[in-house]
Amino acid sequence: MAVIETRGLTKYYGKSRGIEGLDLKVEQGEIFGFLGPNGAGKTTTIRCLLGLIFATGGSASIFDLDISKHSEEIRSRTGYIPGDPNFYPKMTGKELLNYLARFRPETPPIMRDDLIKRFDLDTTKRCKDYSRGNKQKLAIIIACMHNPDLLVLDEPTLGLDPMMQREFHALLNEFRAEGKTVLLSSHILGDVEKTCERVGIIKEGRLVAVERVSELESKKVHSVNAKFAGQIDPADFELPGVRIISHNAESIDIKIMGDIDPVIKALGKYTVIDLDFEHASLEEVFLEFYGEGEV
């Protein structure tokens, strides 16, 4: 069963495009990644689905319920993390959690105490005194504490340290194991690689591709910057799947789209004194493979 389904979903802000003709299906029990550069329409899509803004055209359903007619029932079964969470600054974390729990008397926050311990959040502090990471922990607890059937997450790990990111990925996998559904919008490659099976790629308000993560990983882009003890011949790095961004006598900056082994062998011809080797962000992968002229 498709938990989320959109049919020609469209949103314009006056004459400005938000999303246009979006057809999307997210199946029950999957963690679906929603990818694209800033301004592509990811947040607009999420806000339309949750009834926070009204679509200009098209339709959408969640739990087989029309979002325009049953938004209250849909939200009662949904946990949401916005891209930039804000809280009542003078409330403590505990006061805020208790306050929000009263809005759902029919679904008690059965996971609240466990999540507080799990994410090591000091709920005695006021929200205004929380760091960016602790605000994100609080947002996670708020979204998950009622054990919802659907999680809608907009950049959920921003500000979390690596240990807390791993904990969050484990939590998502537990939700999936229970047959629950997650829509995950993120630029962080690890979020998608560790949790998602499928991803939808949105560009300029339109869904341009839906792929399995294994297919996306085969298109992974690496950025390499190397500095050498002596002069190099840049022709050594003119390899299949390699694009030279810049170079001088003793350094080179390249992008690798595919197999990295030939580059490692080329580097081995020289004495390397400094090397930066990074996975590209999902936005860079998107731009590399779904840029202008390719869709």
Q: Where are the domains of the chain?
A: 2-213, 221-279
pLDDT digits (tens, 9 = 90+) for 120-170: 999 999 999 999 999 999 999 999 999 999 999 999 999 999 999 999 999
pLDDT digits (tens, 9 = 90+) for 253-293: 999 987 899 999 999 999 999 999 887 665 566 666 666 53
- Helix locations, 242-281, DSSP H: 261-267
pLDDT at residue number 282: 58
pLDDT digits (tens, 9 = 90+) for 221-239: 888 999 999 999 999 999 9
Question: How far are the Cα atoms of 113, 119, 131, 168 from residue 138, in angstroms, in the given order?
Answer: 12, 9, 11, 12
In terms of DSSP bridges, do strands 221-228 and 78-81 run parallel, antiparallel, or are they unpaired? unpaired
Out of 71-75, 246-250, 254-258, pick the least confident: 254-258
Rg of the chain taking only CA atoms, in angstroms: 22
Distance of CA 157 to the CA centre of its chain: 8
Q: For a pLDDT cut of 70, what percent of the chain falls above it?
A: 92
pLDDT over threshold 80, residue 188? no
Out of 65-69, 205-209, 247-251, pick the least confident: 205-209
CATH code reported for the domain at 221-279: 3.30.70.250
Distance of CA 83 to the CA centre of its chain: 10
pLDDT at residue number 191: 79
pLDDT at residue number 37: 76
Mean of pLDDT values over 2-12: 97
pLDDT at residue number 243: 92
pLDDT over threshold 80, residue 171? yes
pLDDT digits (tens, 9 = 90+) for 83-105: 889 999 999 999 999 999 999 98
Q: Which amino acid is at 32?
A: F
CATH assignment of 2-213, among 3.40.50.150, 3.40.50.300, 3.20.20.450, 3.40.640.10: 3.40.50.300
Mean of pLDDT values over 59-86: 95
Angle between helices 162-177 and 132-144 (to 10 degrees): 10
